[in-house]
């Protein structure tokens, strides 16, 4: 963009210079047509700037319009998932800490963390007692250990040191910050102190609205509650299916893998 503008300006300067020199050349030229050529060159010297200006008007209009469109589309809102973005949800490491035999460890992982019942817990439509019952029913041979794990499951959430300084910096830069996260009510009450929630302009946790990602309803709740313009918002989440739904609403997305990668991807969108 900058190069072609430079070349165009150079061409215009050359044309104007030639237009200014032509009258001088014809003034010193002899011959029968000398005076006529001189008058024509003078007229051309006056007309050339007008013609060039007329030619540049569409370019100026396009440039201003493009800048306006870019300004209108600039990111001013950042939406964060919580687990594995602002905090660690390290359930595998937590589970391994119990040192269960491999067969039991795998059975409990499937019955608890990889189960549909876990999503129901995040949605907040079923009580913890019912959720625990479903976990046990999926692996009844390990009831005692499942009960122990369930009582300490909040220990699977751990602080990420970069989170608080990061959101504070973005807030100081003038960005609007929000949370959109699947989170169980009991888990939230036990780990809320690990989430940099005070810097947020708003939060939507699944357990509070009884909706869950990647279902569209929870995204609509966030947009409507806080009057967010999706075209000027970017959503960071560690799961692609959650991002796919966000895109349906016109929200920009970043698949979060690590902090440095997320910062780079935000910078590509103009967030610095």
d(CA 4, CA 17): 20
pLDDT of res. 63: 45
d(CA 120, CA 247): 24
pLDDT of res. 44: 55
pLDDT of res. 42: 53
pLDDT of res. 218: 98
CB 238 within 8 A of CB 257: yes
Give the pLDDT of the chain (272 residues) as one tens digit per residue: 445 556 656 666 675 566 555 555 555 555 555 555 546 555 555 555 656 566 655 655 454 554 444 445 699 999 999 999 999 999 999 999 999 999 999 999 999 999 999 999 999 999 999 999 999 999 999 999 999 999 999 999 999 999 999 999 999 999 999 999 999 999 999 999 999 999 999 999 999 999 999 999 999 999 999 999 999 999 999 999 999 999 999 999 999 999 999 999 999 999 98
d(CA 205, CA 190): 14
pLDDT of res. 272: 86
| Residue whose structure tokens are 């050339």 | 48
Instruction: Identify which of 120, 182, 108, 170 has the alpha carbon closest to the alpha carbon of residue 145.
Output: 108
Query: Model-level pTM greater than 0.85?
Result: no
Beta strands in 45-195 (DSSP E): 77-80, 87-89, 157-159, 176-181
Residues ≥6 apart with Cβ < 8 Å to 155: 94
d(CA 96, CA 256): 24
> 3-state class of 238 per DSSP?
coil
Residues ≥6 apart with Cβ < 8 Å to 252: 75, 233, 234, 235, 269
């Amino acid at each position: 963009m900058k190069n072609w503008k430079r070349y165009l300006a150079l061409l215009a300067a050359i044309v104007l210079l030639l237009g200014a020199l032509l009258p001088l050349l014809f003034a010193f030229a002899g011959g029968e047509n000398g005076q006529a050529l001189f008058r024509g060159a003078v007229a051309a010297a006056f007309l050339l700037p007008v013609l060039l200006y007329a030619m540049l008007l569409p370019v100026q209009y396009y440039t201003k319009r493009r800048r306006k469109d870019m300004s209108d589309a600039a990111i001013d809102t950042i939406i964060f998932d919580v687990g594995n973005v602002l905090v660690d949800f390290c359930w595998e490491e937590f589970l391994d800490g119990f040192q269960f035999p491999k067969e039991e460890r795998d059975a409990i992982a499937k019955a608890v963390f990889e189960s549909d019942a876990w999503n129901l817990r995040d949605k907040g439509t079923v009580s913890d007692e019912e959720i625990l019952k479903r976990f046990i029913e999926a692996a009844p041979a390990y009831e005692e250990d499942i009960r122990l794990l369930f009582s300490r499951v909040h220990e699977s959430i751990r602080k990420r040191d970069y989170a608080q300084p990061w959101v504070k910096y973005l807030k100081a830069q003038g960005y609007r910050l929000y949370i959109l996260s699947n989170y169980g009510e009991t888990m939230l009450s036990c780990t809320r102190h690990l989430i940099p929630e005070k810097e947020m302009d708003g939060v939507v946790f699944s357990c509070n609205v009884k909706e869950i990602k990647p279902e569209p309803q929870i995204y609509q709740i966030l947009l409507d509650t806080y009057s967010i313009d999706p075209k000027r918002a970017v959503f960071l989440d560690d799961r692609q299916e959650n991002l796919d739904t966000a895109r349906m609403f016109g929200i920009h997305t970043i698949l979060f893998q690590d902090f440095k990668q997320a910062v780079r991807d935000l910078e590509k969108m103009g967030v610095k």
